[in-house]
């Protein structure tokens, strides 16, 4: 590290500082912090999951504690408050942490507890997006995109503000974490990050107008069975630019949606059947990852029942 201004050594101005600890804000700080924290967790009895390196599980007899790490934000959940508090106390001894109590807001996602249900939304995140894009006073619309409308690669004049387009679309991608209703529309506008047209930005503004009227929308989670259900679909050769198909999938745990995606397939399918099989393959891979993730949490997931449905054209 270069010598701080005002603290230079006049006899050795070319010298640099050798750090004994990683300072916040440096490029290597996140890596050093993650290594320090993850190396400490095994001493508390936590084991890293194979499916997700940021998820740690600890079994204490019949009780279980799950810790999720995202940089310096931590979520701790468990089957009993006593074991949760035990983990928090152990972390407090080793690190300078702040216990914020029950989970209400995490990485832009609002969590509201209504009885035994949890409601996830991103109302505040949408408000900030509308302010950023100067569309707070825009008129809302009923749908995030026009029906049967496909965006063309060279439709109209180029949009001259690439930074604004990429920034807004990037924020919209994060919104799909609690808003599967905009997943397909956001997927469409994401395909023109390199050279967006004015028509593409108009499609982005329509998504923002839809969000303006649905800011309080979200997903509700309640107690349910442990049966995994997956639904997949593919619209064959729907992209007018390269004739590739789009895969749509959603996975339910009981009656709760836990994973969804709308993504263009990597290659051109020669038939609707091939497109459907590709969609089923992507959904199967997602189910396999979810099963591996859950198998670390509790043995009840070892005997999961699977129900797989693909929506085929008539």
Contact 125, 108 (CB under 8 A): yes
Q: Residues 7-51: pLDDT tens digits?
A: 888 898 889 888 777 666 677 777 888 888 888 889 988 888 878
pLDDT for the residue numbered 205: 94
Q: Is a pLDDT exceeding 50 seen at residue 143?
A: yes
Residues forming a β-bridge with 271 = none
Q: Is a pLDDT exceeding 80 seen at residue 152?
A: yes
pLDDT for the residue numbered 64: 85
pTM higher than 0.85: no
Output the CA–CA distances (angstroms, integers) from residue 220 to 143, 183, 263, 290, in the order listed. 21, 18, 24, 20
| Per-chain mean pLDDT for the chain | 84
pLDDT for the residue numbered 313: 38
Q: What is the CATH number of domain 224-310?
A: 3.30.420.10
pLDDT for the residue numbered 171: 92
Vertex 203, ends 197 and 205: CA angle to 5°?
A: 105
Q: Residues 155-210: pLDDT tens digits?
A: 888 998 889 999 999 999 999 999 999 998 999 899 888 889 999 999 999 999 99
pLDDT for the residue numbered 22: 66
pLDDT for the residue numbered 298: 61
Say what percent of the chain tops pLDDT 70. 93
Question: Of 200, 184, 201, which Cα lies nearest the Cα of 152?
Answer: 200
pLDDT for the residue numbered 83: 86
pLDDT for the residue numbered 23: 67
Question: Is the C-alpha dihedral spanning 255, 259, 264, 269 positive or negative?
Answer: negative
Q: Residues 222-234: pLDDT tens digits?
A: 888 888 889 998 9
CATH 3.30.420.10 in the chain: give the residue spans.
224-310
Average pLDDT over residues 129-136: 90
Q: Residues 264-305: pLDDT tens digits?
A: 898 898 898 999 999 999 999 999 888 888 877 664 444 333
């Amino acid at each position: 590290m270069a010598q701080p201004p005002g603290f230079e050594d006049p006899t050795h101005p070319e010298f640099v500082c050798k750090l004994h600890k990683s300072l916040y804000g440096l490029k290597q700080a996140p890596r050093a912090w993650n290594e320090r924290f993850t190396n400490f967790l095994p001493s508390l009895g936590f084991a890293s999951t194979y499916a997700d390196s940021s998820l740690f599980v600890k079994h204490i007899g019949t009780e279980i504690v799950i810790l999720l790490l995202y940089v310096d934000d931590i979520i701790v959940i468990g089957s009993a408050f006593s074991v949760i508090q035990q983990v928090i106390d152990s972390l407090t001894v080793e690190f300078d942490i702040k216990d914020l109590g029950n989970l209400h807001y995490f990485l832009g996602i609002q969590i509201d507890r209504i009885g035994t249900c949890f409601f996830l939304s991103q109302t505040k995140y949408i408000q900030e997006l509308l302010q950023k894009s100067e569309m707070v006073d825009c008129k809302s619309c009923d749908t995030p995109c026009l029906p049967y409308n496909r965006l063309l690669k060279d439709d109209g004049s180029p949009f001259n503000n690439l930074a604004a387009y990429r920034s807004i679309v990037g924020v919209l991608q994060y919104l799909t974490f609690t808003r599967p209703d905009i997943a397909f529309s956001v997927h469409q506008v994401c395909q023109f990050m390199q050279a967006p047209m004015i028509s593409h930005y108009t499609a982005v503004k329509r998504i923002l107008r839809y969000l303006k009227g649905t800011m309080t929308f979200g997903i509700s989670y309640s107690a349910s069975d442990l049966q995994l259900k997956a639904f997949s679909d593919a619209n064959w050769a729907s992209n007018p630019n390269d004739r590739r198909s789009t895969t749509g999938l959603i996975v339910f745990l009981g009656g709760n949606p836990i994973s969804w995606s709308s993504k263009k397939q990597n290659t051109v399918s020669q038939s609707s059947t091939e497109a459907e099989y590709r969609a089923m393959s992507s959904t199967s891979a997602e189910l396999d990852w979810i099963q591996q993730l859950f198998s670390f949490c509790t043995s009840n997931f070892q005997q999961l029942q699977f129900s797989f449905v693909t929506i085929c054209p008539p």
